[in-house]
Amino acid sequence: MITMLKMYVDSAQRDEVEPLLDTGLFHGVTTNPTLLERAEIGLSDVGQLYSWATSAGAGEVFFQAWGITSNEITDNGMRLREIGDRVVVKVPATKFGQAAAATLGWQGVPVLLTAVYNATQILPAIAAGCKYIAPYLGRMRDAGRDGDAEILAMQQVLNSHGEGTELLVASLRSITDVLNLAKQGVSGFAVNPTVLAEMWQEKLTDEVTQVFEEAARRAL
């Protein structure tokens, strides 16, 4: 089965995100508490982020619920969902996070299971009906694990048992990481703006485009 490749801008910085969304190439915006802190955005301000991101074309905006019990995570996830119908709630791949994912899913809230490091973690997420699962490729490698193999194992499980659940790979360090996983059938990627910029870095394309531009101007 062929699935559409979807890329998300992994940043909360408005000056980085809006120009990328304006291209029409990206499906939405992914954030987490660390990215919000870097952008100096408090929890009381996430509604503003949602407003400008959706106005710029984001089909989905991801915010992470917080808490140390499943009830706290669920309650905070519901608060985030109230911001707008394009909010996807992120929960961590812990026991309490997975329980919250199930409860949120039963209430019709789209959920992403985040901070996933091994394929067995996705099994309860599939059972809970999570919409997305976010494995951290770069961080797996940092820990000495074969992150590519782990992610492909996740994709195989989803191909057999995960109808309605998709991978959204995060912690990507280069655009080649995206390419290599896309070749293996992975279709969802949360990518920071620095890595996304690599897609347009091709000297030969720039050179021949300049030749075309000069010819067009002479023709005028």
Q: Are 73 and 66 in contact (CB under 8 A)?
A: yes
Type of residue at 44: S
pLDDT confidence bin for 147, thresholds 50/70/90:
very high
Type of residue at 170: A
Question: Can you tell me the distance from the alpha carbon of 88 to that of 111, in angstroms, rounded to the nearest whole number?
Answer: 6
Q: Are 96 and 69 in contact (CB under 8 A)?
A: yes
pLDDT confidence bin for 220, thresholds 50/70/90:
confident
Give the E-state strand segments of 65-159 in sequence order. 87-92, 111-116, 132-135
Q: Tens of pLDDT along 112-125?
A: 999 999 999 999 99
Q: Tens of pLDDT along 33-55?
A: 999 999 999 988 999 999 999 99
Question: Can you tell me the distance from the alpha carbon of 92 to that of 56, in angstroms, rounded to the nearest whole number?
Answer: 28
Q: Provide φ and ψ at 174, rounded to 5°.
A: -155, 160
Q: Where are the domains of the chain?
A: 6-219
Beta partners for residue 198, in sequence order: none
Q: What is the pTM of this model?
A: 0.95
pLDDT confidence bin for 2, thresholds 50/70/90:
low
Of the options 3.40.50.2300, 3.20.20.70, 3.40.50.720, 3.40.50.300, the CATH number for the domain spanning 6-219: 3.20.20.70
Question: Can you tell me the distance from the alpha carbon of 91 to that of 62, in angstroms, rounded to the nearest whole number?
Answer: 10
Type of residue at 192: N
Question: Can you tell me the distance from the alpha carbon of 34 to that of 102, in angstroms, rounded to the nearest whole number?
Answer: 25
C-alpha torsion sign, points 62, 67, 72, 73? positive
Beta partners for residue 62, in sequence order: 30, 88
Q: Tens of pLDDT along 176-203?
A: 999 999 999 999 999 999 999 999 999 9
pLDDT tops 90 at residue 163: no
Q: Tens of pLDDT along 76-97?
A: 999 999 999 999 999 999 999 9
pLDDT tops 90 at residue 1: no
Beta partners for residue 60, in sequence order: 28
Mean per-residue pLDDT for 162-179? 95
Calculate the CA 216 to chain-centre distance.
40
Q: Are 192 and 34 in contact (CB under 8 A)?
A: no
Tokens of 161: 């048992």
